[in-house]
A and B are shown apart, each in its own frame.
Chain A
Amino acid sequence: MDLRQTVLEAKDICKSFYDNLVLDHVNFSCTSGEIHTLVGENGAGKSTLMRIFSGVYQPTSGELYLNGKPVKFTGTLQAQQAGVSIIHQEFNLVPHMSIAENIFLGRQLRKKGGNLDFPAMRRRTEELSRMMRMELEPDAPVCSLTVAQQQMVEIMKAIELDTQIIIMDEPTAALTPVEVSSLFAAMRRLRDEGRTIIYISHRLNEVFDISDRITVLKDGVMAATLRTEETTKDEVVSLMVGRKLDNIFPPRDEAAGEVRLQAEGLVIAPGKGPASFSVRAGEILGVTGLEGQGQRELLRALFGLHRLAAGKIFIDGQEVRIRSTREAMAHGVTFLTDDRKNEGLCLDLPIYRNISLPVFRRLKTGPFLTVQAERQETQRYMELMNIKAESSAKLVRKLSGGNQQKVLLGKCLSPAPKVLLVHEPTRGIDVAAKIEIYTLLKKLAREEQVAVVMVSSDLMEVLNVSDRILVVYGGGISGELAAADATEESVMRLATGVAKEAAV
């Protein structure tokens, strides 16, 4: 290619969990002084590959070469020492410790005699923060920083480790555009010093902005490695998805009945919002926004999981009070959480126990609940949703992500809801399962006249599944778009508050 040397090379990497092959003979290489982006759908295996590079996982088969020499990482510490560090999506910082202490965690500088050398650590932290063009007080506890600043602390930590390769797993997910551009400036400086950055992102605009090369993973197989200037977004998307977008999302049609759910002046916290909106029976309302703008709280408030400072909720024209999940369900509202493992499912219970959980009362015969009744109920949903399991007695933990998600959706449907609230309905599942979930949501809306509110950060999903799109900014609605007219750009403009300011 050019004079740059290959620093990290993966040959024929395979990785399987239980019986699932997550990575299938992946070949990957990156050179010094490049920003190499890895793109792919949720569940394509990006994170798994990065965890292999950083020593969290060991490959089932295949080899890793670092600077031409074969290496086997048995842990992150070993990978760090060899020159690979990773910045995870969830930060690895100790919240109540200072910035300086976090940067030197486990490698504190010491004076003669073993007392810690705080002045030296502080000085070095200041140096690093100047290098990042940040004004950070070394003694400030990490929990007092913004997400973007915490991100910078992670990067400073990686630089202090002096690793040749820095892996960043979706570092921009929670950043504002200004913060993103300062992060990118920092990344470019690191690249120009000759370091390698492996970058994972979902945001194609950013990917094209920052990368030198792009590698596309699809269903655990490496689809292609492309030079950024020689490719187009369309090419990358079709490689990622492996089929045209039209085949993933259900066809557009129109149908909407009476207003089913109406929210007036919802205030998620004093000083935020207010937000007013409505959803019709048979309609899918897509709600999106940058992370932390309040869409999560608005959705959860409708299910009694977030206490509102003010606001009224009407269902079928009747004002209702929803202060607990129990009250929400009594009004025909169900909720699909974005945190499947902690909030959504009892992983160590069988499928039927999970699906029957919200409807024990209905399934009971006198005072007794029989397994038979539960399994009968569950069978309907197993068929409706095409849940792949040999029996409904299988433990949920043993299912794939996609099937777990379908069980979760089944749990939301068993109470026969009038209003279905879904939060990131397809996070971390494969395309096949996504298609099934989209089809099902559409069918529920159109055939059962359910009003669906879908909060999602996946723009493709919001643009293509919703009938109408609301964009949330600062706890209020910064704009509403008809799905047919909305574009990625028009949504992002509203999401960053740009459009609103322009209108003033």
Chain B
Amino acid sequence: MNLRAFIKRHDNLFIVYAILLAVAVVGAVSSPRFLTGINLGNIMEQAVGLGIVALGQVLTILLAGIDLSVGAVVSMSTAIMSLELSGGAAGILLNILLTLAAGALVGVFNGFGIVRLRIPPFIMTLSTMCIVNGVALKIRPVPGGSIPYEFMDLLFGRIGIFPHAVLLWAVAGALLVWLLGSRRLGRNLYAVGGNPTTAALSGIPVGRVRMQAHILCSVLAAVGGICVAARMGSGDATLGETYSMDSVTVCVLGGVSLFGGQGNIVGLLASTFILTGISNILNMVGVSSYYQYVFKGLILLVTVLVFSIKDKQKG
């Protein structure tokens, strides 16, 4: 395959990385502090949580579904992580296990509703979002609690400019590339998302694929929540609110089609950094956070427009 064909087949990726480059240039021009090691480390620190949540979200979107409950899972995770269950730094292990189990449970719940009760993913996960938000608030009605310093340091201490948690993100990403690219489950996921009738006629267990995708998505959201908690050092049952929509934004920016079956996670790395990078730049030049929302929205709109114009030209 020649270079031209390669670029054409992966043009969504080239677009998103070009945008990332543009964001970096704008950042460097608008503030001398942008390209410093400390600031880049901060951006990574902010990006990790969202990045991992988006890795889960992409699975549901490839199925032409969506998971609106990931934000609530993040909130619940910070709440569980901030509980003081047993003394000592090692006690945090129990919190981690509980958080992951709670995440898996949410995934099973979503999967059950979507597969067995045939509730559309949008509605099912919207309901789950409400329920899980309620649970999170019950656990942690007001922000508080604390997370052992040792654990915070474990995830967000830095080697050079890189926070340790970036490694966790990279491992999760690599695992997903492998799962989607060279495992049966991954390929079946694309088939179900691309054409569920064909998938079913080809003997793919469509329901099981959906169920597994949702469990994985919610567990990854819980992992993302653990990172957020470790960065904050305390629990807050409203902290995850923005993660549902932001993770969808990351997927769409990263070139994953909301119609399912199309896209991969290579673009998510860029799109996660685009989103956090923009916030970072706007913070540095002192733009109010209200405008940051407007900005995020516009970026999403423009990208989707570019993708759709491009698809139309392809015919």
Contacts and interface: CB of A to CB of B under 8 A. Distances in A.
Interface of A: 76-77, 80, 92-97, 101, 105-108, 110, 114-116, 118, 139
Contact of B194 (A77, A94, A106): A94
A106 B1 CA distance: 27
A76 B201 CA distance: 6
A108 B203 contact: no
Interface of B: 1, 182-184, 187-188, 190-191, 194-195, 197-199, 201-204, 261-262
Contacts of A96: 190, 194, 261-262
A105 B203 CA distance: 8
B183 A115 contact: yes
A93 B201 CA distance: 10
A152 to B, nearest CB: 17
Contacts of B191: 94, 97, 101, 105-106
Query: Which 5 pairs from chain A and chain B are nearest by CB?
Result: A106-B202, A94-B194, A105-B202, A106-B203, A92-B198
B198 A108 contact: no
A351 B215 CA distance: 46
Nearest to B184: A108
Nearest to B262: A96
A105 B198 contact: yes
Contact of B204 (A76, A95, A106): A106
Contacts of B201: 76-77, 92
Nearest to B188: A106
23 contacts: A92-B201, A92-B202, A93-B195, A94-B194, A94-B195, A94-B261, A95-B261, A96-B190, A96-B262, A97-B194, A97-B261, A105-B199, A106-B202, A106-B204, A107-B202, A107-B203, A110-B184, A114-B183, A114-B184, A115-B183, A116-B183, A116-B184, A139-B1
Contact of A77 (B183, B184, B203): B203
A97 B201 CA distance: 16
Contacts of A76: 201
Contacts of B188: 106
Contacts of A80: 203
Contacts of A92: 195, 197-198, 201-202
B224 to A, nearest CB: 27
B182 A115 contact: yes
A373 B176 CA distance: 61
B182 A94 contact: no
A161 to B, nearest CB: 10
A107 B201 CA distance: 12
Contacts of A110: 184
A469 B204 CA distance: 48
A94 B183 contact: no
A95 B184 CA distance: 18
Contacts of B187: 97, 101, 108, 116
Nearest to B1: A139
Contacts of A107: 202-203
A105 B289 CA distance: 48
A97 B190 contact: yes
B194 A95 contact: yes
A94 B198 contact: yes
A322 to B, nearest CB: 22
Given A95-B195, A97-B194, A105-B198, A118 B182 contact: yes
A451 to B, nearest CB: 33
Contacts of B1: 139
Nearest to B204: A106
Contacts of B194: 94-97
A323 to B, nearest CB: 18
Nearest to A56: B201
